[in-house]
Structure 1
Amino acid sequence: MVLDLTLLGLAVTFEPVPIIAFVLLLSAERGARKGLAFILAWLASLVLVLALVVLATGGTPPARSSTPSNAVLGFKLALGVGLVAYGEHKRRGLARPRKPPTWTARLDHVSVWTASGVAVLVQPWGLIAAGCATVVDADASRIATYLALAGFCLLSTMSLLAMQVYAVFSPEAARYRLARLVGWIESHEDQAIVAISLLAGLWLVSRSISQLVG
């Protein structure tokens, strides 16, 4: 579980769309407040869905090869296949001209509350769903389980926290460098999505199959 959550947390934190949205909010008026609202909403939604999974299982992982366990593995396998299919779809479209997204221009004038809503909307829910499926195996009686869940939340938020701290303590330098970062990400966004989707999807597929037949 720990390895799966670590890899999924890294995949979440490097997803380009949330990073672009977050940097644009940081660059807007009252950017530090909007960035903080974004991070708090991001973390709150992560903690909420993970807590719901733990409550649903009672903090006790299902027995191996049982019907609930196989159902969860089947769900993870389906998520992996979906991520691979999405990554392949995006890969085939790399050669086509890409239109700049229009939604990013609207982030300059949103409120703090809207920034919170944006955080929930742009989360990579496919990857987070895979994390939730992994948490089904969590044993609530062990301290290591809570450390693994906290680590997943921290890894998933790591890039946002780093940019927030940078923007607060070095606002002028951050504004320039983060603007360059957004420009670079926008020009490589599809490639990043392809890589993350394919790698995460193949990992989920291989892990699910090995556990189903093991």
Structure 2
Amino acid sequence: MVLELVVIGLAINVGPLHNSAFILLLSAPRGVRKGLAFILAWLGCLVLVLAAVILLTGGKPPAPRSAPSTVALALKLALGVGMVAYAESKRRRGGSRRPHRTPKWLGGLDSASGWTAAGLGVILQPWGLVAAGAATVVQAHLSSLGSYVALLAFCLLATSGLLAMELYATFRPTKSRVRLAALRDWTESHQDQVVVTLSLLVGVWLVAKSIYQLV
């Protein structure tokens, strides 16, 4: 479970779309407060999803070859296949070579409220990866403190990039504007390449792991 959650958590963390939106929020008036609202909503979603899974399973994995176990593996397999297909489709359209155009709605984040920032923290979750993480937790045996520490580490890993930028903007506001702007420019110009690479790597991982466990 731990290795799978690390892979998924890292993929969530480096996702380009929510990082670009978060940097724009930080650069807006009262950006630190808006960034905090985004992070709290983002982290709250992860915690709620994991808590729901734990309540449903009782912290005990379903029996091997049972219907719930097969459904969880089939979900991960379907998500993996979907990610690989998406990556290949985007690659064939030339997404891995052309610079990404910034969505027009991102330009309105300068005037976004704290509630809007929190809403974006929910909407911009990479829900496919979150679902893969939830399916992984379904199969986990949560019988020790270490298991729950692993879940906490997953949430923090998936949020670590946002937390780092929030702290940087809080304690180094002047320097952070320049460096975060440069990071956003790089992220936007390489967004399609990052999406293709992440989707392909995580998709292949989920497919291989799911087939191995099913067989």
Tell me how far apart the structure 2 counterparts of residues 155 and 75 of structure 1 sit (CA, whole Å).
23
Moved more, 65-74 or 75-84: 65-74
Distance of 1:180 and 1:188 partners within structure 2: 12
8 Å CA contact 1:16–1:193 kept in 2: the answer is yes
The match for 1:204 is 206
- Taking the aligned partners of 1:198 and 1:72, their CA distance within structure 2 comes to 20
Q: Which runs of 5+ in 1 are unaligned?
A: none
The number of residues matched between the two structures is 213
Three-state SS of the structure 1 residue aligned to 2:190 is helix
Amino acid at match of 1:178: L
Deviations 1:130-162 (A, max 9, x none): 000001023232112101110110100010001
Q: What TM-score, normalized by structure 2, do the two folds share?
A: 0.96
Q: How does 1:1-214 map to 2 (within 5 A)?
A: 1-93=1-93, 94=95, 95=97, 98-213=100-215
**2: CA distance, partners of 1:97 / 1:32:** 29
Q: CA RMSD in A?
A: 1.1
Letter in 2 for 1:101: P
- The 3-state SS of whatever aligns with 1:85 is helix
CA distance in 1, matches of 2:46, 2:99: 34
Tell me the percent identity. Answer: 59
Distance 1:188 1:22 in 2: 17
Distance 1:33 1:48 in 2: 22
Query: What is the deviation of 1:66?
Result: 1.7
**1:60 to partner: Cα distance:** 1.1
What displacement does 1:98 show?
Answer: 4.6
Q: Which amino acid aligns with 1:160?
A: L
Q: C-alpha separation between the residues in 2 aligned to 1:169 and 1:24?
A: 17
Residues 69 and 202 of structure 1: CA distance in aligned 2, closer, same or farther (over 3 Å): same
List gaps (5 residues or longer) in structure 2: none
SS of residue paired to 1:60: coil
Q: Are the aligned partners of 1:54 and 1:138 in contact in 2 as well (CA < 8 Å)?
A: no
